[in-house]
């Protein structure tokens, strides 16, 4: 059993690392087809384009990372979406800013390798299942491990699944995740997210996420 667990862990790590290398190489040598999100009517103007930026998307398995990325890409919500067993990539063009979202799976085997992707990211988006109260302490522990590994990377925490009855609201999540302990040297934001996709307009909470990312990534 020990040998089998070690073999499984090695295979999962190899898939994640190989996928990340393929993602970087593909973006370097080829011009990718961009998934475009049209700006909303109330979106503030950005003075300069931020060109290409990488957004690292992490969170426990089942937090809803893939669903968030599907909505941002314009593909909508996929009910019964399975967990990500390696990595997932989405490239979105917003007002001339190419955002390359890289999602790493949240299974226990892959969390060990999360910190290896922090260095190449410009922003960390950490997705939390607001209704999964039982695993909130684990989500908090993993989040603070990431923050300890990089003390300056801008952080956006998404309190997902706000439509669930058991969901913690933003003030409760802030306390449960101990976000007040974040140092002044880091830009840290908490957004409550509800993926109420109507098939036409991007959910308001994700429009707010887009605007926040543009503010964080656009040159001053």
Q: How many domains does the chain have?
A: 1
Any binding-site annotation on 130?
no
pLDDT at 147 exceeding the cut of 60: yes
pLDDT in tens, 162-173: 999 999 999 999
Any binding-site annotation on 163?
yes
pLDDT at 12 exceeding the cut of 70: no
Any binding-site annotation on 61?
yes
Any binding-site annotation on 89?
no
Any binding-site annotation on 184?
no
Any binding-site annotation on 62?
yes
The parent domain of residue 157 ranges over 2-217
CATH number reported for the structural domain that contains residue 26 in this entry: 3.40.50.300
- Lowest-confidence segment of 54-58, 66-70, 186-190, 216-220 by average pLDDT: 216-220
Closest CA to 143 of 158, 133, 131, 132: 158
Burial class (CB in 10 A: 0-12, 13-18, 19+), 143: buried
pLDDT in tens, 69-103: 988 888 766 555 656 667 899 999 988 889 999 99
**What token pair was written down for 4?**
């089998």
- Select the more confidently predicted residue: 186 or 18: 186
């Amino acid at each position: 059993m020990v040998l089998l667990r070690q073999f499984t862990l090695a295979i999962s790590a190899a898939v994640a690392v190989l996928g990340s290398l393929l993602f970087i190489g593909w973006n370097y040598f080829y011009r990718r087809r961009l998934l475009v999100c049209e700006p909303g009517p109330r979106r503030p103007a950005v003075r300069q384009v931020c060109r290409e930026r990488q957004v690292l998307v992490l969170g426990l398995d089942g937090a809803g990372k893939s669903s968030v990325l599907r909505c941002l890409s314009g593909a909508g919500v996929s009910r019964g979406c399975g967990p990500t067993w390696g990595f997932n990539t989405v490239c979105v063009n917003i007002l001339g800013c190419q955002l390359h979202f890289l999602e790493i799976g949240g299974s226990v085997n892959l969390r060990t390798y999360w910190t290896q992707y922090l260095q190449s990211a410009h922003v960390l988006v950490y997705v939390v299942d607001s209704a999964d109260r039982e695993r909130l302490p684990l989500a908090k522990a993993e989040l603070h491990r990431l923050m300890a590994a990089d003390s300056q990377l801008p952080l956006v925490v998404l309190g997902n699944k706000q439509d669930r009855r058991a969901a913690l609201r933003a003030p409760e999540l802030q306390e449960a995740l101990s976000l007040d302990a974040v140092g002044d040297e880091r830009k840290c934001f908490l957004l409550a997210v509800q993926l109420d996709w109507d098939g036409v307009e991007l959910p308001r909470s994700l429009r707010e996420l887009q605007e926040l990312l543009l503010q964080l990534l656009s040159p001053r």
